[in-house]
Amino acid sequence: MKKDTSIFQNLKEENRNRIYNTIREKKCISGPALIYELKLSRPTVTQNINELLEEGLICENGTIGNTGGRRARGYSISEMFQIAAGLDITRNHITVLLVNLNGEIIYEKRIRYPFSITDEYKKKLGELISEAMEEKAIHEEQMLGVGIAVPGLVTKDYRTIFYGKILDFEGMTAEEFGKYIPFPCRLYNDADAGGYAEISQNSELKDAFYISLSNNIGGSILIDHKVYHGEGQRSGEVGHMTLIPNGRECYCGKRGCFETYCNASILSDVCDGNLQDFFQKLEQGDRECMELWRDYLYYLSIAVNNVRMLFDCKVILGGYVGAYMSDYMHQIRTLARERNTFETNADFLQPCQVKREALALGSALPFIHEFWEKV
Ligand SMILES: [Zn+2]
């Protein structure tokens, strides 16, 4: 008897979830359209709509249809019912953004603020979050949580950095980062966050390998819209793949890592750290920049081919350099194609679609997606 009740309860919850998420996906939909779309009975749909309206999860959003007769009321989700925040921590900058229940960025701020393991720094993170919430008039109970993208490897429970040579912050925990943030905090590896943002915002992608070409190089294996973490949360770390045996020295202590040939600083260093200036000079035909770029693409094409041979999936160029890649796809695809054993084109190689603040976005989105699942 008990079992029957729970089956009934599950079905009820499933219907409610399907109705909410269909309204979300369609942006605005009428009751009759929901009945048609989900093949559910009118009473089921009506009852759920009323409940969702009462709880404030959805709202009426004008009327739909003008084919004569009565116009149906349209429903949309209340996109500000809950929100999530994302922080991106790098050596010299902090990014904070807020994301609504449609997964859209509603607030974004990037400041120059060097990283340090001090109370002052932790206070700054707290201030940035409360400033953002104040500006968008967000109440505490609306906040689902704060995802923090870090240039390090993070334990499975999102709590602790277990490899963090870049900022020398090994052992630092989510609790420490969130000392002045009164919401659940989670840590995410930066490249995994970037990859997750990309696969979430690009509906055509299901599986992909995301290469994050920022001041450090990371990678993320994305299978069926999820990050594959590996046995020890170290998957996709292409930055430390040996590209050139006994090549350049890497901060990790080894030599010849891909990291040392294609991190974004290699390009921006010739322009006082300004990557935009590098690409401008490159466009103007600056000789030094052109030579640097030629070498950069050569090394990048080797890594891209290795990834393609290994995974046979789409390869996305992301991170700081990836954001500028659209204009140079022909060049990099030609090099990747020449190296490829099996294919005569390199259409598998794509520039990232999320050009700005992918890391903070990819750290906030998991909170939103979990909410969608449990409505
Ligand atoms: Zn290395």
> pLDDT tens for residues 216-236?
999 999 999 999 999 999 999
Spatial neighbors of 16 by CB under 8 A, at least 6 apart, are 48, 51, 52, 375
Fold agreement between 2-77 and 204-351: no
- The model's pLDDT over 125-172, given as tens digits with 9 standing for 90+, comes to 999 999 999 999 999 999 999 999 999 999 999 999 999 999 999 999
- 67, pLDDT greater than 60: no
Listed residues: CB within 5 A of ion ligand 1: 240, 250, 252, 254, 257
Stretch 26-31: mean pLDDT? 93
pLDDT computed for residue 6 by the predictor: 82
Residue with tokens 């070498």: 295
The pLDDT of residue 285 is 96
Name the CATH architecture for the domain at 204-351: 2-Layer Sandwich (3.30)
- In 3D space, the residue among 125, 113, 101, 135 whose CA is nearest the CA of residue 180 turns out to be 125
What mean pLDDT do residues 56-78 have? 79
Where exactly are the structural domains of the chain?
Answer: 2-77, 83-194+358-374, 204-351
- Quote the pLDDT of residue 70: 64
Quick check: 202 and 103 in contact, CB under 8 A?
no
Cα–Cα distance, 194 to 210 (Å, whole number): 8
pLDDT grade for 73, boundaries at 50, 70 and 90: confident
Distance 217 CA to ligand 1 centre (A): 10
- CA dist 107 and 138 (Å) reads 11
Q: What pLDDT, on a 0 to 100 scale, did the predictor assign at position 1? A: 47
What is the distance in A from the centroid of ligand 1 to the CA of 22?
Answer: 45
State residue 229's pLDDT score: 93
- CATH architecture label of 83-194+358-374: 2-Layer Sandwich (3.30)
Pairing of strands 208-213, 314-318: parallel
CA of 311 to the centre of ligand 1 (A): 21
Assigned CATH class of 2-77: mainly alpha
pTM: 0.91
- What's the mean pLDDT when you consider all of the chain? 94
